[in-house]
Structure 1
Amino acid sequence: MTATKHPAKSEGPALQKNNPREVFGWKIYDWANSAFSTTIVSTLFGPYLTEITQQVVGENGIVVNLGPVGAITSKSFFPTCVSVAVFLQIFLLPTLGAVADYSNLKKKMMALFCYIGVAATCLMFFVSGRLYLLGGLLFIVANLSFGATIVFYNGFLNDITTEDQRDKVSSRGFAYGYLGGGVLLALNFLLVKSAGRLGLDPYMAVRLSLLSAGVWWGMFALITFATLKTRTTEKALPPGKTYLTVGFSELGRTFRELARLRHTLRYLIGYLFFNDGIQTVISMASVFLAQELFVARGLKTDQSFLLLIFLMVQFVAIFGALLFERIAYLIGTKSAILISLVLWAGVVIYGYGFLHTTSEAWIMAIFIAIVLGGSQALSRSLFSRMIPAGREASFFGIYEVSERGTSWLGPLTFGAVVAATGSYRQALLSLIIFFIAGIIILYLTDTNKAIHEAGNLLPEEAARGE
């Protein structure tokens, strides 16, 4: 499709959309922050934090006793940290998005939270021995900051692209992320694999890898902040008001708009379900594989195996994102997402009943790689078309509550099941309810009507210049 260029819909300078330099700067942030998604959330930090906690309190020993409601155990500690981070995001992210829409601070707020996250990630290098509680705290801070930056990052998508280019730019942004995260993961794989020859303790190699994720994130993000342009003009605060109080009032306005946009609200509810499932599979996969294939058999976790399998996922997911971009072009974005969700449900069933060897883990990982990028990128681009102009960060603040690596109900369910049963397989199977609910709700949502209700164009209408 040929891109049509329209001036930005804002009160500020009439900056052109679909500008290659600015679009590249936007995509490179996915390259930058995917270091956190891959090295920290998906691969190394979960198994590492779980193992050092188990060394102190036992295989499923108590980390925090919650009295009559149960306890946080060494096995459920990491999923609980994920849930705490997301629970806090429920209150923080929508408000931050509302402030960003009202003010002209979206880019500055993105930079602030980016480097808070970078600092917390770098400090994970010092987590060892009995400092597992510090590790949990740093992960919560880093994950909160990561989620905040994605609110603003996603909010720029509508600023810099027209409707007919959203699927393409969103999918290629994810492709950049898989490539960037994959490159760093490859370097970390070589480091962990060569730890003995380099005279490094395996845990030191992991800690250096955690440090590298923070450095990578912060370094490449500089390109993004040098190329993205601020489009809105500064607004004077009402007398006696602060950005915080304005943020709360704007948040109320956002929820009133959502109540009016019934089809957008229905889509968002469906997304919160199926993306909770996706993000929990991603964030818990390394722990699941480490515990089921190694720890449960009395073996030391093969960190090299975990790195190599996730490295494969990163690179194959590049082609998966581009494949589903093409599928969406042929059959529509909604239909392409539904196909990916059916495949996700199949992954959960396979992991529960059929995964017993490392070879079978490779099979599951290939299917994850194929559907991973498509489901995420297309969900984001489809939602972006349902947002009224000028409300992007506010709506994406709510969207981000269940975005990459920040799901809430999924890890809570996973952690509760594994704490109660001691079985990671049953915990994995419990996630299928999120995919089933998401498929049903999305199928019943009229996404075309949602786009028109928000005052936006369908991709084919934008391509025709209507």
Structure 2
Amino acid sequence: MNSDQNKPSADENSRLMGNANRKELLAWALYDFANSGYTTVVQTTIFSTYFVGVIAGAAQGVAPGLSTLLWSLAIGVANFIVMIGGPLIGAIADQRACKKRFLLISSVGCIASTALLALVGPGDIGLGMVLVTVSAIMFAGGENLIAAFLPEIVPEENMGRMSGYGWSLGYFGGLLTLGICLAYIIWAKQHGLPETHVVPVTLLITAAIFALAATPTFLWLHERAIPVALNRSLSNLQIGYARLAHTFKEAARFRDLLWFLVTLGVYQSGVSTVVVLAAIYAQEVMGFDTQSLIVLIMVVNVTAAVGAFICGHLQDRMGSVPTLAITLLIWIVAVMVALFASKTAHMWIAGNIIGLAMGASQAVGRALVSKFSPTERAGEFLGLWGLVNRLSAIVGPLSYGLINYWSNGDHRMSLLSTLSFFIVGLALLCKVNESRGKAAALMGDAG
């Protein structure tokens, strides 16, 4: 047999080297555009406040602070499940080269469960928690999988920029979804429609936009990974866990990656808290109504897109670690402004500072993990990135929810825990050596 038959063709070599064309890069970034409507409408703005104020509100006999805790628990359970399963899914996707198939499954699941949330009304606390949990699981799974494509489509020196483009486009996706929802809410108010009618329609709008905007991803984005020869005596679970076990055995080779994951887990706990509870804070403490909240989040999305775009270029010039340190300082300032806010104008200032910091910190985090990951194990290591994100999405919001419940609904006291995450995260970041981490990833590729 001719040995050349086992060698990749020129076209395969081109694809494996990450020579993606503009259409394919756009397809990758459009997924961030597509799924951002879910986070802004369901987790951040409309449905989160609807759940706390209406579905599990005081009119339903729920004790002060308990509705916020129940919301935090639903998000926490979802992220716990993803935390356990994310690295496993990433390992199997790498082994079998099926990231795109798993991405489709998670996307359909998130879209369907978001649409089903339209059926949840006042008092349907259990159904609401279940559907929010399912939708959050599917969303997070898709987020991990789309990130795993990044090292396949761009070279290492452009990862920061491409990640920034994705986050920027994502914030504009959230902005578009919120804008359409706001237009409908204004129209519905003019026609005297109740909130119990308006909110379900916004959820259907969100699901439809997700489905339409994600379609180019599945049409144009290519799976570049090559399946590894399988041991037919092992199941997918055994293969996945065996590969994960091997990853952890080699942890010493990637110490900067692992230390950064610890750092990310701490500061991302603060970010996750802001994402799922900021609108509730603005509603309960500052008296914002739904329309004002949507306008605020729309403005925040613009500043977040600007922050992600600038940060993508900045980190390629001065390095990811220094850039991230700057963004964490901005986070600390933003949370302190919100903590001491006494007027709605103060909340607007805090929101815009939060937007700049959020877009920047999330773009840097994804790019830095990609830089620290050997190319052929990107899905697996970005699964670890997803694991840490999910752990932070449990610790952050749950700590806020528990403090809020124990303090009988004192949101300012709860916000102190959020501030501490950013301060500690900044201190831990000082031990991350970016050059050494990138060198370890290159050694992993060579090995």
Q: Which residue of structure 1 lines up, in the alignment, with residue 245 of structure 2?
A: 252
Q: Which residue of structure 1 lines up, in the alignment, with residue 332 of structure 2?
A: 345
2:284 partner SS? helix
Taking structure 1 as reference, are residues 374 and 208 closer, same or farther at Cα in structure 2, changes over 3 Å only? same
Residues 74-89 of structure 1 aligned to structure 2 (within 5 Å):
74-89=67-82
Q: TM-score, normalised by structure 2?
A: 0.92
Which string of whole-angstrom CA distances, capped at 9 and with x for unpartnered residues, describes residues 195-245 of structure 1?
A: 222342123211111121111112211110111111123344313211122
Distance 2:305 2:253 in 1: 37
- Out of 314, 331, 347, the position equivalent to 1:327 is 314
1:8·1:160 contact (CA, 8 Å) conserved in 2? no
How far the C-alpha of 1:366 sits from its partner, in A, is 1.1
- Out of 202, 208, 227, the position equivalent to 2:220 is 227
Point out where structure 2 has 5 or more consecutive residues left out of the alignment.
1-8
Q: TM-score, normalised by structure 1?
A: 0.88
Q: Number of paired residues? A: 435
Q: Say if 2:344 is the partner of 1:358.
A: yes
Taking structure 1 as reference, are residues 81 and 10 closer, same or farther at Cα in structure 2, changes over 3 Å only? farther
Q: Say if 2:178 is the partner of 1:152.
A: no
Q: Which residue of structure 1 lines up, in the alignment, with residue 115 of structure 2?
A: 122
Q: Which residue of structure 1 lines up, in the alignment, with residue 3 of structure 2?
A: none
How far the C-alpha of 1:379 sits from its partner, in A, is 1.5
Point out where structure 1 has 5 or more consecutive residues left out of the alignment.
1-6, 63-71, 295-300, 458-466
Amino acid across the alignment from 2:364? L
1:12·1:231 contact (CA, 8 Å) conserved in 2? no
Residues 296-335 of structure 1 aligned to structure 2 (within 5 Å):
302-335=289-322
Distance 2:119 2:218 in 1: 29
- Out of 374, 381, 384, the position equivalent to 1:395 is 381
2:16·2:152 contact (CA, 8 Å) conserved in 1? no
Which string of whole-angstrom CA distances, capped at 9 and with x for unpartnered residues, describes residues 158-189 of structure 1?
A: 00000111111110101110111101111111
2:404·2:411 contact (CA, 8 Å) conserved in 1? yes
Distance 2:252 2:129 in 1: 36
1:143·1:406 contact (CA, 8 Å) conserved in 2? no
How far the C-alpha of 1:11 sits from its partner, in A, is 8.6
Which string of whole-angstrom CA distances, capped at 9 and with x for unpartnered residues, describes residues 325-359 of structure 1?
A: 34324432211110110111122222112x12221
1:237 partner SS? coil
Q: Say if 2:182 is the partner of 1:189.
A: yes
1:50·1:75 contact (CA, 8 Å) conserved in 2? yes
2:190 partner SS? coil
Amino acid across the alignment from 1:318? A
Distance 1:74 1:24 in 2: 40
How far the C-alpha of 1:401 sits from its partner, in A, is 2.6
Distance 1:12 1:162 in 2: 12
Residues 123-138 of structure 1 aligned to structure 2 (within 5 Å):
123-138=116-131
Q: Which residue of structure 2 lines up, in the alignment, with residue 461 of structure 1?
A: none
1:390 partner SS? helix
Q: Say if 2:97 is the partner of 1:104.
A: yes
Distance 2:97 2:56 in 1: 47
2:82·2:390 contact (CA, 8 Å) conserved in 1? no
Q: Say if 2:440 is the partner of 1:453.
A: yes
Amino acid across the alignment from 1:343? I
- Out of 410, 418, 421, the position equivalent to 1:423 is 410
2:79·2:390 contact (CA, 8 Å) conserved in 1? no
Amino acid across the alignment from 2:25? V
2:45·2:297 contact (CA, 8 Å) conserved in 1? yes
Quote the sequence identity (%): 26
Structure with greater proportional helix content: 2
How far the C-alpha of 1:84 sits from its partner, in A, is 1.1
Q: Say if 2:368 is the partner of 1:377.
A: no
Residues 150-229 of structure 1 aligned to structure 2 (within 5 Å):
150-229=143-222
Distance 1:10 1:417 in 2: 54
Q: Which residue of structure 2 lines up, in the alignment, with residue 277 of structure 1?
A: 270
1:31·1:177 contact (CA, 8 Å) conserved in 2? yes
Q: Mean Cα displacement is larger for which, 378-387 or 51-60?
A: 51-60
Which string of whole-angstrom CA distances, capped at 9 and with x for unpartnered residues, describes residues 22-42 of structure 1?
A: 111000001100011111111
How far the C-alpha of 1:193 sits from its partner, in A, is 2.2
Please report the RMSD computed on the Cα atoms of aligned residues, expressed in angstroms: 2.3
How far the C-alpha of 1:99 sits from its partner, in A, is 0.6
1:61 partner SS? coil
